[in-house]
Amino acid sequence: MKWVSSVSSSSDARQALDDVLDQVRSDFGEQPPDLVFFFVSSQHEAHYADLHEWLREELSPKHLVGCTARGIIGRGLEIETGPALCVNAALLPGTEVFTRHTGFEDMPDADASPEDWRQWIDLDPEINSIVMLADPFTTELEKFLQGMDYAFPFAQKIGGLASAGGEALQNGLYCEDLMRHEGLVLIAFKGRTCMEPMVAQGCRPVGPVATVTRARSNMIVELDGTSALEFIQGVNDGLDAYDRKLFKSALFFGVTNDPFIDQPGPGDYLVRNLIGIDYDSGAIILAGIAEEGSLIQLHLRDRKSSRIDLEALLDRYLETHGEAKNALLFSCLGRGQYLYSTTNHDSDLLNERLGPLPISGFFCTGEIGPVGASTFIHGYTSSIALFKEGPVA
């Protein structure tokens, strides 16, 4: 297994592509890659199709996938503004790679069988991992992720939502010889290439764990038998001055619906935004469903918490898996310099703990990754795919 990441910030589209091709050829020679991930910034919008065609002609990869984004990550550099183009190329012995572009018009119903889902997406049931690149405006992504979990429960899943455009049909998705402006591109692996997903939600818990005792859809009316608003005000009263300041601008809710978890720890919570408060009833409204019986803990996000969270995840990976050969980094537009006031934070930390790695990816309008056994769309996270070579079958 061999991976290389190459990046260019040239404003000239042809020059940018030549730059990245030179970097790939210096590692691979004239050998065509088995797989290429291709990410391009919105400043190259006039040449989205040209770049796709040039790359296929020049590099002749067996498989080519990618998308457009507002910020690009390549070779460990996080280029959040300005023109950028990244290629992440791989030689993958003993691996079958499957690529699909799909819309959602004929997606199976919620009560369809796993076999129905597998036939619809036309994938081998023995795939071990899936990477997804999606347009945020034209996908029924939550239903799709539920279907993929149902059809491929043992496959690891990760991905990101394209961010170059602010409305439908402004993003580009690449799948082999196709360029589309809607839907989703899926890349699946079978064989020796293994992928371990990691979701850094960047929060720390505050206050006690509470049980949702009354709720309607995404509205929580009561926590531990008291009004939800009264509960969170009580938590706020017990915080120090620094955390009370964060409480006003960086408050989130960790939710777990797993009936087998009675003492949630790091990684057990799905972190969701607070999107509203009904002061008359004392109810709070979340960007996600919280069922009665769910466990809730308030969370705060700041740069220190985000760093500690990612450090812990990387250290846990190192203890369990030992090494990685490549990283795909799908990072929220709200992270990067906006959160850390410095460039390359997450990439530098990846290299510090696991590197040097050929890190590639982009800044997203939503990140895809697992919490527990289910796959979700996240915000303000970094979803990371770490690749390594598994044993010979």
The model's pTM: 0.93
Region 253-261 average pLDDT: 82
Q: Identify any residues that bridge with 284 across adjacent strands, giving them in sequence order.
A: 220, 277
Average pLDDT over residues 31-50: 97
pLDDT of residue 263: 82
What average pLDDT does the segment 320-324 reach? 91
Average pLDDT, the chain: 94
Rg (CA), the chain: 21
- Separation between Cα atoms, residue 366 and residue 383, nearest integer Å: 10
What is residue 393's predicted lDDT score, i.e. its pLDDT?
A: 53
For the segment 336-357, the average pLDDT, to the nearest whole number, is: 94
**Cα–Cα distance for residue pair 173/63, rounded to 1 Å:** 14
**Range from 69-73, 278-282, 371-375 that averages highest in pLDDT:** 69-73
Could you say which DSSP state residue 279 is in?
A: T
* pLDDT confidence tier of residue 192, bands split at 50, 70 and 90: very high
Contacts of 390 (CB under 8 A, 6+ apart): 128, 191, 192, 193, 194
pLDDT digits (tens, 9 = 90+) for 76-120: 999 999 999 999 999 999 999 999 999 998 999 978 999 999 999
